[in-house]
Structure 1
Amino acid sequence: MHRSGLIELEAVLAVARRGSFRAAAAELGMSTSAISNAIAALETRLRTRLFNRTTRSVALTEAGQQFVVRISPALGEINGAMDEVNSQRQTPTGTLRINSSVGAARMIFAPLVLEFLRRHSDMKVDIVTEARLVDIVADGFDAGIRLEESVPRDMIAVPIGPDLRMVAVASPGYFAQHAKPLVPGDLMAHDCIRMRLSHGGIYRWELERHGEALELDVQGPLILDEATMMVDAAREGFGIAFVSEWNAADDLATGRLIRVLEDWSPYFPGLRLYYPGHRHVPPGLRAFVDLIREVNEARVSKGQDGSAIGPQNFSSN
């Protein structure tokens, strides 16, 4: 969210971060032409070109690099002071920008994001989903949502919901034609729906029981990078999928999918909302953290600590 009176400086920093006028405009909620005009006006007053522009790229000039180094901490201090004043307001306002994986965003969307907007009508929420892990500070986000194992160590992390687990599932039709695997090694004789990771590698299925851990490089007819499609393929009988129990919950409840090797599917630390600890926490983010903690406490008090994340577990009623 840009601040009145600082837009030219914020435009420079946004373009420097993003390397693109269009991406910077999206970050600041402005038009590309407005960003370009703001920077052009500043360059005119400074009588110095801050960016070298071509049809394919935007890069800081040497003067621009020096300018960014000088103004970045100063602008951070100004924004921090404004946030502190704004935090005295009873009602949070502004835009909460969150970076998340697609799966995490789906899990928290209805129970947390929509509930947050119901409670805080003056707030806006901007969620950007992508598989790769980004620098939320450099990319202008207030917070990120990822599995605990992916959260940078220098961030404050707030648990969202209970622990999760992966489960191996397939359709009744598939098991009508193939024997159910009884031990992990049996999977090597099955059609498995494989998962491509954000860095391009293929996920090796991680199974564990009583302290014995295995990683299996299974084979199969499909390689996908999105859990919903993996569940769809399993439901249609194309093989065994290894997905989050949350993604398969509805199909397991209705019998469209059957789980196997359940004793080899241990729980692991689930989602975390994370944000930098060295910055002042904006009121909107503070209110979102308070909501997360409230629904976590409600879930635990109802004895749902080991159950999957779902709207029924995050109801504020």
Structure 2
Amino acid sequence: MVGGARVITCESTGNVSIGGSTTTYKLDVGGTINCANLYRSGTIVDIPLVSGITTIGTGQASKALTLDASRNAINIASLACDTIIANSTTNILNINPTTLQIKGVALTATATQLNVLNGFTGTTANLNVLSGTTTTSADLTKLAGITATAAELNYLDLTTGAGTAENSKALVLNSTGGISGITTLSTTGSITVGGDINGFLAYGNQSAITSVGSLTELGINATPADEYFSITGSGADYLDASYTRMLTFRGSNATPVQFQIEVNNGTNATSTNATWIGNYSANDIRFGTNQTTRMTLTNTGRLGISTATPSAPLHVNASYID
């Protein structure tokens, strides 16, 4: 007691009250405590960090960070952490500043642009393919809608460049629309040629060639030298006895008239080796001028001049000979 007033109260429980009568705690102080240091469980308490906080939930310089009633905190200049732990799938990291940096480098991409990478399964090696390119975002936008696989796009990875065919690669025309180096070409439709075909034009197992267009020269198993149309036999192919069938004309009937030109397959040093022109079928041969028959050689060997029905080995139907 001091001056009739209670100053310190000690209870049998060991609780002490200074400046008051309440002894709920081990030490109750009814006024201000002034001390150099305050310890709790042997650890000093840094009072200035919590002293002077003006608004709960708002960051202040050199003060402890407090959360508001909704557990939010604002006005934080920067935040560094080793690990972000989310305690539910609904937690969202919402960063509103205009600039976001990763390892000191500012990001200029939007969240929508970054979401393009969602589900990307490429490796860093795949991404490093773009290293050193001058590709812009506008260039990359051109890739939108492409459904080709990496293997399909690799068909365009040419060694010799445009204009030359390469094995297992796409055909890419040169600046003049040309391509070279094709070994074979097979089509199920038509091939239209606007210019010349250089070299040899061959065919095999083609049953419906309707036109080859306008030709300057044509050689079959031959190269025309001083003629428009040249045919050369090939060994023992298409032989009729010792004669090579060079040309055959047939009608469209089921049992057609057949006209044929043959050349002996032997040497020209043998005088009896000859050419043969005539009907392979048992039909007459007629010769004419001005769309009129002038001479007829029948299938029985009779020759008629000015008559189609000779009655003798040589039948001249004229009243005089000029």
Bigger Rg over Cα: 2
TM-score, normalising length from structure 2?
0.17
TM-score, normalising length from structure 1?
0.17
- Structure that is richer in helix per residue: 1
Higher relative contact order (CA 8 A, sep 6+): 1
